[in-house]
Structures are given as structure tokens and as C-alpha cells.
Amino acid sequence: MAEYALGIDIGGTFTDLVLLEDAGSIKVAKTLTTYPDPSDGVLQGLSDLLDRARVDPADVTRVIHGTTLVTNTLIERSGAKTGLITTRGFRDALEIGREGRYDIYDLRLRLPDPLVERRNRIEVDERLGPDGSVWQPLDEDSLAEACSALERAEVDAIGVCLLHAYANSTHEMAVRTYLESRLPDCAVSVSSDVAPELREYERTSTTVANAYVQPLVRKYLGSLEKGLRHKGVKSALHIMLSNGGSCSVETAARFPVRLVESGPCGGALAAAEWGRRAGLDEVLAFDMGGTTAKAILSVDGDFPITTESEVARVYRFKKGSGLPLLVPVLDMIEIGAGGG
């Protein structure tokens, strides 16, 4: 009995599906990406593809999914209403950023707007030293006040980034436990979980970005997984990561910021494989979607990987003009100028 692998790619404009038989035959389908729930388009396209190929859904033994949902959400600023809880005195770190300027001669320099409005960035009384030692215990009263403020603001997601939490996560874990008990319907991301690294601004930016897209990604992946089961596809759903690997739905829902280059990295890997088969040492992979365009150079089948990247640059090729992220990604060039 033939077995099939199913590839799903969701872009800002189109959704593509590829059905690969173990013998090598390929069937494809394309449909418009549906909003507000992209899984509707996937499931409709899948039904059409399986019917046309005369394939039993139970014969699909592998499902790999790449999506630009995360990066498009960040670029278009269409994510959840998000709050931030941080150490007293560091409320504006997310907006101040770094001293460096991407254009030192521009007197009207434009910087990316923070994902969290200032009124929704709340401070709590606590302090850790750079070695993780407790200089000031977490004050429960200030935490309760912060939680109440965000509850009144009706946020859907909260990022928690306390000073030096990469060295000691105790305070952040206590904050998360409290928030989850008080606001059970609110998505909570903590920096010691998302990006336990040095550099306050980048760590805060990454944590906030994770929180900002988390409700949307959780809802979407849950809907897609349920829909695939309803269609009769029994295989586990694997999600493409930005570094070219894959992960489970549970991991993707917990760390959606790691999917920021999920969509284009699949095409880049395919381009490198075709280059290898053709005997080419250097291959330039270019992906123009409906919303964004990306490019990356493969040398001897390998790609540059970085743990520091940017998304949603306000000045297309200028490093430092976007939102910094501390996640492993294929080192692509990306601009918000697609063909859609």
C-alpha cells in the first residue's frame, strides 16, 4: 500500500499543498489563504487534493507544515493585545532599545513601534543580581496591582521579562504561576523560558513578540490539528522551525516566535537540495510571497544560521531598523514587499 507525505505552506495570500507518494509521484493544490482562520483554506484544499489524487487520508503518514503566519502578524501588527510585566525602572527598555542608530545622518530616524503600548507595560518591585542572587524579593502586592492593571486593560497576552532572569528564573516562574491563576484565559510568555540570554532589550523584545503572536498561533494550530483528525489524517502534525528543523504542535504553540521564518526555510532547503543534485556549489534561493519577499544564499548545501535576527524592519535593508529576536533562524534577507 502506498504511503504519502503531505506538505502544507500557508502564506499571506496563498496556501499551497503538496502530496508526495513514496514512489515519487507528486500532486499539488493551491487555494487562497482564508481569514480569520487560515485552517479553513488548508482543509478545503486538502479535501480537493485527496479527492483528485484518489488518496485515502489514512495513507498520509507524514504531515509537515510551514507558515508565514508569525512573521506576517508581526509585520502587519495584527497580533493580540499584549501587556508586559517587568522590573521596576525598566518599563521603557522595550522602547528605548539600543544606543546604536541604523542611519547616523538621519535626523528624523524612524524606529519600529513597540508591540506593547506604554500604558500596558507594568513594573513590579523585585531585583536580581547579574549572578542570579536575590537583591530584592518579589513583592506580591505590586504583582497583584500589575495583574489588576492588565486585567482592566483587557489584554489577551502577557510577556514577563525581569532583570537578570536568565540567571535565576524563580521570580519569573512565580509571576507566571500567579498570572495563570488570576487570568487563566491569557497567554503568558516568560523570558527565562523563551530567551534565557543576556541583553535586556533583545530578551524583552523576543518575549513580547512570542506573547504577541501566541493566541493566534495556538488557536490556528489547534483548529488545524482538529480538522486534520476530522478528515481522517492520523499522522502527527510537524511544524517547520526557522532554523530548518521541525517540532511538535505543542512546542510550536509554546514558542511561536521560533516559527518566524517557518515558511521560507522549507523552500530554501528545497533549493539547496536541487542545487546539490545539479552539482552547483552556490545557490541563491528567492521566495516572493503575497506579503513579504525573502532571499538566502546556500554554499555547498549549507546555510548561514544566526541566533540574532530582526523582523518587521521599517527601513528595508537597514540592520537595526526592525524588532530584534533571539531565536535560531536561517540568515535570510526579508522585506515587507510581496507580490500580492
Same domain membership, residue 104 and residue 205:
yes
If asked whether residues 20 and 114 sit together in one domain, one would say no
For strands 60-67 and 4-10, give the pairing: parallel
Indicate whether 58 belongs to any domain: yes
Q: Is the pLDDT of residue 336 over 80?
A: no
Residue 24's pLDDT is what? 83
Q: Which of 75-84, 88-97, 299-308 has the weakest average pLDDT?
A: 299-308
The string over 132-147, giving b where at least 16 C-beta atoms fall within 10 Å of a residue's C-beta and e elsewhere, is eeeeeebeeebbeebb
Which CA distances in Å does 41 have to 36, 186, 226, 236, 277?
10, 27, 14, 19, 33
The predicted pLDDT at position 104 comes to 84
Task: Judge if 63 and 142 occupy the same domain.
Answer: no
Phi and psi for 107 in degrees, rounded to 5? -75, -15
Structural domain includes residue 114: yes
Contact between 292 and 335 under an 8 Å Cβ cutoff? The reply is yes
- Model confidence at 103, pLDDT cuts 50, 70, 90, reads confident
DSSP characters for 191-202? HHHH---S-HHH
Instruction: State whether 84 and 201 are in the same domain.
Output: yes
Question: Cis (ω within 30 of 0) for the bond into 36?
Answer: yes
- Tell me how far apart the alpha carbons of residues 209 and 80 are, in angstroms, rounded to a whole number: 10
Predicted pLDDT at 188? 98
Query: What integer pLDDT is reported at residue 48 of this predicted model?
Result: 94
pLDDT value, residue 301: 79
- Of 225 and 36, the one with more pLDDT: 225
Regarding whether 94 and 53 lie in a shared domain, the answer is no
pTM of the full structure? 0.91
The one-letter amino acid at 34: T
Strands, E assignment, the chain? 4-10, 14-21, 26-32, 60-67, 82-87, 121-124, 127-128, 134-136, 157-161, 187-190, 237-240, 246-248, 282-288, 293-299, 305-306, 309-311, 323-325, 329-330, 333-335
For residue 335, the model assigns a pLDDT of 67
Task: Please indicate, yes or no, whether residues 87 and 106 belong to a single structural domain of this protein.
Answer: yes
Instruction: Tell me the pLDDT band of 36, cut-offs 50, 70 and 90.
Output: confident
The pLDDT-based confidence of 147 (bands split at 50, 70, 90) is very high
Domain encompassing residue 315:
262-335
Which residues on adjacent β-strands are paired with residue 19?
6, 27
Same-domain pairing of 193 and 312: no
Q: Are residues 106 and 204 in the same domain?
A: yes
Is 187 part of any domain?
A: yes
Query: How many domains does the chain contain in total?
Result: 3
In a domain, 340, yes or no: no
